[in-house]
Amino acid sequence: MDSNSGRVPEGEMNRREWLKTTGAIGAGSMLAELDALSGFAEESGCAWEASITRLKLRHTWTTTMSSSEYRDTIQVRLTRDGVTGIGEGAPIVRYHENAQDGKQAIDAILPFLRAADPWLFQPLMAGVSRQVQNQFAAKAAIDIALMDWIGKKMSVPLYRFFGLDPEQTPITTFSIGIDTPESTRQKVQEAASFPVLKIKVGLNTDEATLDAVRSVTRKPLRVDANEGWKDKEEAVRKINWLESQGVEFVEQPMPAEMIEETRWVRSRVHLPLIADEAALSPSALPKLVDAYDGVNVKLDKCGGIQQAVRMIDVAKSLGLKTMLGCMVSSSVSVTAAAHLSPLVDYADLDGNLLIANDPFRGVTVEKGKLILPRGPGLGLQPA
C-alpha cells in the first residue's frame, strides 16, 4: 500500500501551486519556517536531541506482521529554560519505518527545531509535517516532547491542559500476541488482573488460539486480525464464529485497502469492526464510514498528540467509535496516549507492560483501569 495515500492535502489548487504556497519546495522553505517561528533565532536556547532506545520484550511478540524479542524506539528530548520535555515514537514496520531513519529525519531538521519557539507548538508541528515526509513515529516523538515541555512550563498535567477528567479514563485491554497454545494459556493467566483481553489472530491458528484462551478464561475478548483475512467470505465466517466466542469487536479484519469488501462484510455480521491500518490520518476517516464502526488512533501512526486529538474529533463528528492504541513502547508514548484516553470509548494502552526495561514510570493500571500520573506534562518519573 502507498503509505502516502490520504496524507497529501488536495484542494482546488494544483499540486505545485499548493506546494509553493506552503513553502515546501527547496531550501528556502526551511529559512521561511525559521523566520516565521523563531522569536529568538539561534539564541532561543532550545536544545533538541534524538536518540534510539532498545526495549527488551518480556515475551517474543508475534502478530501477522512480525516477530521479535526487542523493539527500538525514537526518544526525543527538548530542553529550554531548564525544563526538559520527553517524547517517544515507535516506528511501524507496516509503513516501512525504522528507528534509524526516524532519528535521521529528526537530525536533518535540528536547525529548524532549535530556532523555533516551542510555545508555538501548533505551527511548529505544521512546519515539521511540511519538512518531513512520512516518518510518523519521529513526528510523534517531537510532538510528545513539545507537549510534555508545555505542560511542565504551565505546571499542569496534559489531561488538564486538554480539559479532561482523569477519573474518566477507560479500562485498557491487555494484548495477547500469537503464540503456541501452551504459551497463550500462560499469558492469559498472567493477565488475570485485566477484565478484557485483546487477542491477536489472522493466521491459520485462529481456532487453536481462541480455544487456548477460552480454556482458561470466560472474560470478554476483543480481537485484532491485523489485516489477516484476505477473503471476504472467510472474514464473515471468522467474525460470526468469534461472536459465538464472546468477542466484543474485531479490529482490522481485512487489508486496509479493501474498504469495499469490508463494507460488504460489515453488512453480514453483528460484531462492530474497528479500523486500525485503514485509519492513518483524519483525512482517511470519511471514506471509512459504513465500512467500519470505529477507529483505532495511535500517536505513532498519526504523528503525535495534537494530530491524535484532531483524529478523535473527526471520528466522533462522523459517528465513529474511538479507541486509543499503541505500539510496543516505553511509558513515554503510552502515558502520552493515556492522557487523551478520557476522550475515547476504548483503550488498548499496554505497550509499556510488554517490555522488561522501561526507563520511566507514568500511567499505571489497576484492574484494567488507566490511572494517570498527576505531575505536570506527561507526569513521568524515572523508573
**Residue 33 vs 251, nearer CB to Mg ion:** 251
Phi, psi torsion values for 292, nearest 5 degrees: -135, 160
By C-alpha distance, which of 161, 167, 151 is closest to 370? 167
Residue 120, SS3 per DSSP: coil
14's CB contacts (< 8 A; 6+ apart) are none
Binding segment for Mg ion (CB under 5 A), chosen from 19-27, 153-161, 182-190, 244-252, is: 244-252
Residue nearest to Mg ion (CB): 276
Cβ 293 to Mg ion, closest distance in Å? Answer: 15
DSSP labels for 168-181? GPPBB-EEE-S--H
Cβ 317 to Mg ion, closest distance in Å? Answer: 22
Angle between helices 206-214 and 181-190 (to 10 degrees): 40
Binding segment for Mg ion (CB under 5 A), chosen from 188-196, 236-244, 247-255, 301-309, is: 247-255
Cβ 381 to Mg ion, closest distance in Å? Answer: 29
Question: What letter does residue 62 receive in the DSSP assignment?
Answer: E
List for the chain the helix, strand, coil content (%; round to 5).
40, 20, 35
Cβ 285 to Mg ion, closest distance in Å? Answer: 16
Put the strands of the sheet holding 67-80 in their side by side order: 47-62, 67-80, 83-89
Residue from 88, 179, 261, 276 that binds Mg ion (CB under 5 A)? 276
Binding segment for Mg ion (CB under 5 A), chosen from 110-118, 170-178, 223-231, 337-345, is: 223-231
DSSP labels for 247-276? EEEEE--S-TT-HHHHHHHHTT-SS-EEES
* Residue 261 contacts Mg ion per CB under 5 A: no
Distance CA 177, CA 80 (A): 40
**Residue 19 vs 65, nearer CB to Mg ion:** 65
According to DSSP, the residues that pair with 365 across neighbouring strands are 370
**Residue 146 vs 326, nearer CB to Mg ion:** 326
Cβ 91 to Mg ion, closest distance in Å? Answer: 16
**Residue 351 vs 376, nearer CB to Mg ion:** 351
Residue from 224, 227, 293, 350 that binds Mg ion (CB under 5 A)? 224
Binding segment for Mg ion (CB under 5 A), chosen from 32-40, 46-54, 230-238, 271-279, is: 271-279
Give me the residues that bind Mg ion (CB under 5 A), please. Answer: 224, 251, 276
